[in-house]
Amino acid sequence: MSEITIKDIAKHAGVSVATVSRVVNGFMGVSPATMDKVNKAIADLNYVPNATARSLKIDRTNLLAMLVSNISNSHFTSMAKTIESCCRQEHFNILLCNTEDDPDIELEYLKRLTELRVDGIILNTTGLNDAYICSLSHTIPMVLVDRSIDDPDFAGDFVGSNGFDGMKLLTSHLIERGHRRIGIISSNQHVSTGRERYAGFVDTMKLAGISIDDQYPYKYAGKLFNEEDGISGARYLMNLEVPPTAIIAANNNMAIGVYKYLGSQNISVPDTVSVVSYGNISNSDLFPVVPTFTTLNPTFIGEKTATLLLSRIQDNTRSKREVIFQPLLLVNESTKSI
Amino acid sequence: MSEITIKDIAKHAGVSVATVSRVVNGFMGVSPATMDKVNKAIADLNYVPNATARSLKIDRTNLLAMLVSNISNSHFTSMAKTIESCCRQEHFNILLCNTEDDPDIELEYLKRLTELRVDGIILNTTGLNDAYICSLSHTIPMVLVDRSIDDPDFAGDFVGSNGFDGMKLLTSHLIERGHRRIGIISSNQHVSTGRERYAGFVDTMKLAGISIDDQYPYKYAGKLFNEEDGISGARYLMNLEVPPTAIIAANNNMAIGVYKYLGSQNISVPDTVSVVSYGNISNSDLFPVVPTFTTLNPTFIGEKTATLLLSRIQDNTRSKREVIFQPLLLVNESTKSI
DNA sequence: TTGTACGCGTTATCAT
DNA sequence: ATGATAACGCGTACAA
């Protein structure tokens, strides 16, 4: 039982394949009579155009890809939802690629995607394939989200938030409330967000007269931005001889870990230690102590990302654009003055 | 600048396209010497095979699709993560399709996916395109998740949980603790889970001597399984002259709504009203009162779903299979005896 | 308005 | 071990 093709329709309707193609693609120049005949044949034989053959011919797949470090992270699911919605309206389909922040998986995916001839790529990069990505960006329209690649050779766009300023907001908030021993649970320094956010912390502390060097005891370097890092970080910090009075988690997943560890040890927030995080945690408005955090607005980020990619698909030679959202501090209940 | 093809490689290496194809696909019968020549040409010209042309020829795309009602729901993101991981290892890519429980979007997607000639479909159906889906299941390997289609014409597999038993667990739990005025916030009855879960509630109540008919005041019919339904339901129930002593939310999103409404009205759980839900809420272990719920284990569901689909892709004429997980009741702090 | 014929890049058959 | 060539299903000059 082989596939019904445009040829079968042509035969059944008594016209040529060219005419069928014209009808299928809604082109002008077909008489109403033949159009009816063709449509009837299509219905009769239950014909479904072969997108693969079509793509080969017209050199467009209408396929996009979205590579994210962790699709379980609510930040990315919100983004994904918006992106899917925007792209569906423009008749693009989306390939979901979860990298787990593993550069090997990222690279494997990028190769496969170029084989597939996807029309565009949305990338939340691991930060460890920069050269390859820059090179690829000249061939495939690309938008980086959250994490940038600071290389003039990169030809795509970038949408993200200002990690430096965001971290400044969090740090200042704590300093203004009298905190000096501030624990920082930072993340992977080979991704731009990790670097920026850490720099924002260091800079703000310095302005307050506290220099962050190798001797500064209240810092913990996470590895994968995840809950476990948050738990380990909080454990480390709270077990120091003189523990910090406040903790900053550099992303939402690590913040979850922090809250879990503190909860498990019955360490009161904010009475014993204040906690803030870069980015929100899902359902955090149902927590006993509602966290203070900077917002990231994944919906807005997703919308902008989709828009930029779709326009770049029209013309990948256009100059690169950067959309950087300014984070907002939402002060809730997880911090107190000391 | 047009695409580098197998032809260019052949010319550059001084061999035929057949030989290049053999090398690219790792077939035997190529001498080491020519193999080297070809590989050098591939590297020199930076050749990337065209998957579109390949698919057209071999009639396989290595593309799968996953249609879910709401990719923001943590249940589905956990599932998606597992499925993605399983399928990636078998060299399949996944198209993400978010239906928002809209049957029109579902239908639009299914049509597009058959045009794309995807090799398989994972479907969390809206329940309103049964005939079309049954028909399609004979052509495209398909696995339904969570929501089944009870039609002998459906040719695919099903993976889900036992909604009847799960709801029985929740209802019994409340009854055993002395509750009689039990509010039920149910969901869309055209999806199988909605029907099953509701039936489980009705049956259990009946065994306890309470018949659920049109006169039973403590029921609220949601529309879309979402937070808003949960909020409206809780508002309706708690504003009755004699409010219920317990509330059952038929899914996780509605449970979030219930907790939000009760929190906003300072209605204490479980002192004023006990709350249970079918399925867990993300980060609920950080809530002041940890919810009692039935587990759904999306990771396990996802794994089984992927396995069934991949095997069905090998042979879509095999008899249909059903994997139904038995829900577990996790008793936490959101219920009390009265 | 409609039809003929070629090519998109690949795989696979059948030679040699 | 290697090469020539015919498909796969479609879009589109170009011709009529």
Per-residue pLDDT at B27: 86
Does an H or E element contain A144, and which? Answer: strand A142-145
A122-180: per-residue pLDDT in tens? 999 999 999 999 999 999 999 999 999 999 999 999 999 999 999 999 999 999 999 99
Instruction: Answer yes or no: do A196 and A281 share one domain.
Output: yes
CATH number, residue B312: 3.40.50.2300
Is B217's CB less than 7 Å from nucleic acid strand C? no
Which residues in A lie closer than 8 A to residue B52 (C-beta atoms)? 52, 55-56, 61, 116-117
Mean pLDDT of chain B: 96
Instruction: Answer yes or no: do A272 and A171 share one domain.
Output: yes
Closest residue (CA) to C1' of nucleotide D4 is B16
Which residues in B lie closer than 8 A to residue A61 (C-beta atoms)? 52
Q: Quick check: B171 pLDDT over 60?
A: yes
A236 domain residue, yes or no: yes
Our CA-based measurement puts residue A242 at a distance from the nearest CA of chain B, in whole angstroms, of 26
**d(C-alpha B303, C-alpha B323), whole Å:** 11
B305 CA – D3 C1', rounded, Å: 45
Instruction: Answer yes or no: do A25 and A66 share one domain.
Output: no
The total number of structural domains in chain A stands at 3
B118 domain residue, yes or no: yes
Question: pLDDT band at B222, cuts 50/70/90?
Answer: confident
Residue from B110, B138, B139 nearest B124 by CA: B110
What is the CA B26 to chain-centroid distance, rounded?
Answer: 36
Closest residue (CA) to C1' of nucleotide D9 is A53
Residue found by looking up tokens 């389909």 in the block: A93
B232-274: per-residue pLDDT in tens? 999 999 999 999 999 999 999 999 999 999 999 999 999 999 9
**d(C-alpha B155, C-alpha B292), whole Å:** 37
Instruction: Answer yes or no: do A149 and A264 share one domain.
Output: no
Q: Does B53 touch chain A (CB under 8 A)?
A: yes
CB contact under 8 A, B84 and A71: yes
Instruction: Answer yes or no: do B290 and B304 share one domain.
Output: no
- Write phi, then psi, for A198 (nearest 5 degrees): -65, -40
Instruction: Answer yes or no: do B292 and B168 share one domain.
Output: yes
Which residues in B lie closer than 8 A to residue A259 (C-beta atoms)? 286
B185 domain residue, yes or no: yes
Average pLDDT over residues B119-146: 98
Residues with pLDDT less than 70, chain A: 1
Our CA-based measurement puts residue A321 at a distance from the nearest CA of chain B, in whole angstroms, of 24
Per-residue pLDDT at B91: 97
Residue found by looking up tokens 């057209």 in the block: B56
Q: Whole domain around residue B205: which residue ranges? A: 163-296
A223 domain residue, yes or no: yes
DSSP state of A303: H
In the stretch 254-293 of chain A, residues with CB closer than 8 A to chain B read 256, 259-260, 263, 281-288
Percent of chain B with pLDDT over 90: 95
Instruction: Answer yes or no: do A169 and A285 share one domain.
Output: yes
Which residues in A lie closer than 8 A to residue B77 (C-beta atoms)? 71-72, 74, 77
B289-334: per-residue pLDDT in tens? 999 999 989 999 999 999 999 999 999 999 999 999 999 999 999 9
Instruction: Answer yes or no: do A182 and A288 share one domain.
Output: yes
B21-32: per-residue pLDDT in tens? 999 999 888 999
B1 domain residue, yes or no: no
Instruction: Answer yes or no: do B226 and B150 share one domain.
Output: no
CB B281 within 8 Å of CB B252: yes
Residue found by looking up tokens 């999306």 in the block: B298
Instruction: Answer yes or no: do B194 and B283 share one domain.
Output: yes
CATH number, residue B21: 1.10.260.40
CB contact under 8 A, B84 and A97: yes
B193 domain residue, yes or no: yes
Q: Which nucleotide is nearest to A17 (CA to C1')?
A: C3
Q: Quick check: B194 pLDDT over 60?
A: yes
CB A92 within 8 Å of CB A123: no
Instruction: Answer yes or no: do A177 and A291 share one domain.
Output: yes
